[in-house]
Structure formats: C-alpha cells, structure tokens
C-alpha cells in the first residue's frame, strides 16, 4: 500500500509539474507587435538599400527583397541590406518572430533608381532631311512613357503573339529615364511564363501613311533574344492580318556571330496567301549591342526602302493591286520578345537581364 501511495503521489507531482510548465510556456508565448520597417535607398546609383525592422517582443527577423528569386536573409537585430541589380519597384517582406516562434509580417514597396549611365556612342541621324518635315517624334525626355502616344500590350497573346514567344509582357519592364526608353527582358516567373518583357504600340493614337520613319537604338543580344521596331496596318481590328499588312523596320535575332550583328527588314502581306519578303545587312565589325545605330525606312506610294545608319540595304516595290496594304496608314510597335519560332528559346549562354535602349523615334513627311 505504501508503495502504491508513493507512486500515486509521484505521478500527481509529475502531472502538476508538466501542467505548470505548460501554463508558463503559454504565458510566455507572446506575439510580436508593432512591426515597423524603415528602408533607406542609397542615392549614389549603386542600388543598395538598407533596412531596419523593429517590433515589440521580437527576437529575430526574416527578410525577402522581391527580386524574383527565393532569396532571404535572417537578422537578429532587425538590420539587413541588399543591392538591387536594376532600377524598379520592389515589394519587400519582413517577418518578425518572438522567442516562442509566434510571428507577424509586413510588406512594403520601395523604388530603386540606379541612375544607369548609358554610353551614347554611335551613329546620330540628322534632324532634317531635304523635302521632308518632322511631323512627330518622341525623344523620351520625361520620367515615364507618354501614354498620349503609346499603349502597353500585356500578357502572352494568342499562341505567344502568333510566334510562340516565351515571355509575358508587363508595364513594369519599361522605363523612361535620362532621355532614353529602356525595355528590359528578365528571366523571372510571371503569368505562367519564365520570362518578362514589354511591348508598346501607337495604335489608335498615332498612325502614318508614307514618310521617313526612324529609330535610334542600342540592341540587346543572345540566343533567343528578339528586339523589333515595326508597323501594322491601322485597320487590323477590322481587316485581319496579313490582309492589313506588316512592315518590319528593324528585327534582330540574337545568338552569336552572324546573328547579333545582322539586321533584318521585311514586309508581310496577302497575295493568294501569306507572303513575306525582305533583306538583311551585317555589320562589318562588332554587334548591335556595342553602340547605338539608326534604323529607318523611307516609304512612298511606290516603294519601301530600308536604311542602316542612312545607308540603304534593301528596297521593295509596292506598286500593283496585290500590294494595296502598303498604301494605307500604319501604327508603330516596339517590343523585345524572348524565344519564338524564329529565334528559338534562350540557352545556358543567354545572359539576363537584356536591355533594348531607344534614344528616339521620329517621323518625317
């Protein structure tokens, strides 16, 4: 009996001890409160941002910086920093933990401006041409895209914009800064695609019939990289492509020697089926990535002529009833595609991000 009584007493004491410890743990299991985050963005153009998080009852913090990767940094004092590779708007998340593993989180958007210095080396076209008047231009001198002229086209279109392109077009990949428009192609998952970029049009805002149309730009490079400056018939919403016509003023399909240095100019139209024809030219030295060039067409009622740095390299005769598409107004497009039927997919040698940098677009008539 004494042994049984002692055992019962011992079991009761253990139960009371466990209960007491459990109660103490519950009393100590406090949540962090009043979480705040201060972000200091460096103004030296480095892309560095310093963070300080504070919260009552917090013993440690976990940061993620919104750069499209699974990066995270742990901090015991709430302090952390990261260096952003590109300018842009980023969503930062910080989670504060208490010693009992209770947590609270906060998200905050920050804007990073790296003040990228762009080397302006390259050909610059004249501001006047004999017999022509400048009727429209965008010199990209503001701080954002001028939506009086341009539209953003977003998404992946139908069948990858008809080309099985691999990117998702977003507004966020377009930047206007220091007199340049920059479209950036990134390797990041969004909208079910592995890449993002931008596509711009002047549809319903600016269209043109004949004249000299030109763009000064520095192109990206690499396998699967496909920048373009082109035009579509303004009647495309009522007259399906290719009946509406297409003029490709500049296309470059990246992928090393013979590609990153080769320019293509093409037309698409309907003549008993889809027809296309065009010409190309190759730089004697270097790539289109190395410096700025000017890509132009001179378009009349009888012909379209393509120029690189004011040197003609291809001409197309537009006379004849079967080419009536080229005697109607067209709107302009700028885009940077990733992948597609023509360039193929990026490979292990393709470097991201890639930038398509435009100095100006001008139209003379």
CB 257 within 8 A of CB 346: no
Tell me the Ramachandran region of residue 2: left when phi exceeds 0, alpha when psi lies from -120 to 50, beta otherwise.
alpha
User: Rounded CA gap, 339 and 333, in Å?
Assistant: 18
Of the residues 188, 203, 214, 251, only one is catalytic, namely 251
User: Rounded CA gap, 215 and 148, in Å?
Assistant: 19
Full DSSP string of 46-108: S-EEEEEEEEET--EEEEE--SSS---EEESSSEEEEE-SS-EEEEEEEEEE-TTS-EEEEEE
Could you tell me the maximum CA-CA distance found in the chain, to the nearest angstrom?
Answer: 120
- Ranges of beta strands (E only) in 98-221 are 103-112, 134-138, 151-152, 167-169, 174-177, 180-190, 193-197, 199-201, 207-208, 211-218
Is residue 251 among the annotated active site residues? Answer: yes
Is residue 246 among the annotated active site residues? Answer: yes
Of the residues 246, 270, 312, 325, only one is catalytic, namely 246
Residues noted as catalytic: 246, 251
């Amino acid at each position: 009996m004494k042994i049984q009584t002692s055992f019962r007493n011992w079991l009761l004491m253990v139960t009371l001890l466990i209960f007491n410890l459990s109660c103490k743990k519950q009393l100590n299991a406090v949540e962090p409160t009043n979480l705040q985050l201060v972000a200091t963005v460096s103004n030296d153009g480095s892309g560095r941002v310093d963070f300080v998080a504070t919260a009552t009852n917090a013993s440690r913090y976990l940061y993620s910086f919104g750069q499209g990767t699974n990066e995270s940094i742990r901090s015991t004092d709430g302090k952390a920093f990261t260096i952003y590779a590109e300018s842009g708007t980023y969503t930062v998340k910080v989670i504060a933990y208490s010693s009992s593993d209770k947590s609270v989180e906060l998200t905050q958007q920050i804007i990073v401006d790296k003040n990228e210095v762009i080397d302006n080396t390259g050909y610059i076209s004249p501001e006047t041409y004999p017999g022509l008047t400048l009727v429209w231009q965008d010199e990209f001198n503001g701080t954002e895209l001028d939506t009086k002229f341009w539209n953003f086209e977003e998404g992946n279109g139908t069948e990858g914009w008809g080309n099985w392109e691999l990117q998702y077009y977003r507004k966020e990949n377009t930047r206007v800064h220091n007199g340049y428009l920059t479209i950036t192609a990134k390797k990041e998952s969004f909208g079910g695609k592995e890449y993002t970029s931008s596509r711009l049009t002047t549809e319903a805002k600016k269209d043109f019939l004949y004249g000299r149309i030109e763009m000064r730009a520095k192109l990206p490079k690499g396998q699967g990289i496909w920048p373009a400056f082109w035009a579509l018939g303004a009647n495309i919403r009522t007259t399906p492509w290719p009946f509406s016509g297409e003029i490709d003023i500049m296309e470059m399909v990246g992928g090393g020697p013979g590609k990153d240095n080769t320019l293509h100019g093409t037309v698409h139209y309907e003549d008993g089926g889809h027809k296309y024809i065009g010409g190309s030219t190759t730089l004697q030295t270097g790539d289109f990535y190395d410096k700025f060039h000017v890509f132009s067409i001179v378009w009349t009622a009888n012909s379209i002529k393509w120029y690189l740095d004011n040197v003609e390299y291809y001409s197309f005769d537009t006379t004849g009833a079967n080419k009536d598409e080229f005697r109607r107004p067209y709107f302009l497009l700028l885009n940077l595609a990733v992948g597609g039927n023509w360039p193929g997919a990026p490979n292990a040698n393709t470097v991201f991000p890639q930038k398509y940098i435009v100095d100006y677009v001008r139209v003379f008539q």
